[in-house]
Amino acid sequence: MSSKASLQRTGDSAFKRMDHVSSELFTLTYGSLVLQLIEDFEDYAEVNNQLERMGNNIGQRLIEEFLAKSRVSKCGDFAETCEVIALVGFRMFLGVTGTVSQSAKEPHVCHITLASNPLLDFVELPDEAKGVLQYSNILVGVLKGALEMVQMRVDVEVVHDPLVGDEATELKLTLLEIINDEPPPDDE
Amino acid sequence: MNSFFVMVGSDDTLLFENQVINNGKAASLASVGLSSGMDKADQKDVLTHFVLFSALDVVDEEMWRTQNMFLRKVDKFEEWEVSAFVTAGNIRFLILHDARNDDGIRTFFTRVYDLYMKMALNPFYKLNSPITSPSFAAKVRALADEHL
């Protein structure tokens, strides 16, 4: 199992290899996307769904790029997977790193905390959207989609969100099952 | 110094206002003019808005005579003066004040402009709509305390 420091180095060098865009351009583009969805669907719950679906789509493709460019080795367990996501994945695609916390009692649950979330710069939710709209829900979809492509079915949830007054963005990842794609026994 | 600060959108709607009243002198503004059945507070509001919005005509002329965004004193009403600032997006900042303080007002305008820019980047804020964000209001109040 690779150490945190070496993962951090892997993340940094992967970040350097990526093309970069201005973070404001990114934040504002995402903001107008969310707003357009709100205008089109007029229902925050449905907007959450749409964001997750988009994220899922992104995640399924992003995992290829991640595996091709990040040069990480095979993960031993779910906890290591979460470390790789937090230190390499987020660093590569969003330029930030997360910290992972996990309790020994629940090895299949991981919390990733992002001290800064570039999606949220400048954003202030209107009162009626607080607690209903999951503004960062695209991350949920991305993680689910990407992990599903590497045989992990996970449930992801935004448990803390600075937009409703929390200190940092916190994502809770629950491993539901490792998808076993061995062919059925009677397969030729 | 007593001051009434307003932000006026490019379509002349009121976006935001903030008042700082330090002493009883502000009441003198209320005692001028209007003598209808309204109570004191209402009269003052109406009159302030009237004075500030009538200064907009002067601002619209004055802004073409200078390269600066800060227009200094543009209008006068009794012992009150109106200072103005015009942003690139034609949002007008106006202050009705009773003491000369060009430097303080200039700094205040520039800092509020900075706040406004950040606030305008919020995707949930529709341009030229009234600013309802409590954090924006709190920051402007703090700036007013510091510079005015």
Model confidence band, residue B41 (pLDDT cutoffs 50, 70, 90): low
Report yes or no: B46 and B34 within 8 Å, Cβ to Cβ: yes
Report CB contact under 8 Å: B122, A32: no
Question: What would the mean pLDDT of A164-174 be, rounded to a whole number?
Answer: 93
* Token representation of residue B73: 């004193």
- Domain residue spans of chain A: 4-178
Q: Which residues of A lie closer than 8 Å to B, measured between beta carbons?
A: 24, 27-28, 31-32, 34-35, 121-126, 129
Closest CA–CA distance from residue B119 to any residue of chain A (Å): 7
Query: Which domain does B135 fall in, by range?
Result: 2-147
pLDDT confidence tier of residue A50, bands split at 50, 70 and 90? very high
CB contact residues (below 8 A), chain B span 109-138, against chain A: 118-119, 121-125, 133, 135
Q: Which residue has the higher pLDDT, B77 or B131?
A: B131
Which chain B residues touch A121 with a CB distance below 8 Å? Answer: 121
On whether the CB atoms of residues A142 and A184 are closer than 8 A, the answer is no
At B89, the amino acid letter reads: G
Phi, psi of B16 (to 5 degrees): -165, 145
| Residues of chain B found within 8 Å of residue A28, distances taken between Cβ atoms | 121, 123
- Smallest Cβ–Cβ distance between B122 and the set A24, A123, A129 belongs to A123
Q: Which residue of A has its CA nearest to B121?
A: A122
Please give the pLDDT value at position B39.
57
The predicted pLDDT at position B34 comes to: 42
Amino acid at A27: T
pLDDT digits (tens, 9 = 90+) for A53-101: 999 999 999 999 999 988 888 888 899 999 999 999 999 999 999 999 9
Query: Over the stretch B9-24, which tens digit does the pLDDT of each residue have?
Result: 999 888 998 887 765 5
Residues A106-155: pLDDT tens digits? 889 999 999 999 999 989 998 889 989 999 999 999 999 999 999 999 99
**Does residue A37 register a pLDDT over 90?**
yes
Please tell me which residue of chain A has the smallest CA distance to B131: A126
A31: nearest CA partner in chain B: B123
Q: Would you identify the CATH topology of the domain A4-178?
A: Muramoyl-pentapeptide Carboxypeptidase; domain 2 (3.30.1380)
Between B100 and B39, residue with greater pLDDT: B100
* Helix B102-120, helix B134-147: angle, nearest 10: 160
Report the CATH number that the domain containing residue B104 is assigned in CATH: 3.30.450.70
How many structural domains comprise chain B?
Answer: 1
Alpha-carbon dihedral angle through residues B31, B37, B43, B46, given to the nearest 10 degrees: -140
* Residue A9 pLDDT > 70: yes
pLDDT of residue A13 exceeding 50, the answer is yes
A83 touches A11 (CB < 8 A): no
Find, among A97, A91, A100, the residue nearest to A70 by Cα. A91
> What average pLDDT does this structure show over B1-10?
88
Q: Of A53-67, B72-86, B107-121, which range is least confident?
A: B72-86
Identify all chain A residues contacting B124, using CB atoms and an 8 Å cutoff: 31, 35, 123-126, 129
Going by pLDDT thresholds of 50, 70 and 90, the confidence category of residue B61 is confident
Residue B32: the pLDDT is 47
- Residue listed under structure tokens 């200064």: B55
Residues of A in contact with B117 (CB under 8 A): none
In terms of CA atoms, which chain B residue is nearest residue A127?
B133
ipTM of the complex: 0.74
Please report residues of A whose CB lies closer than 8 A to that of B125.
124
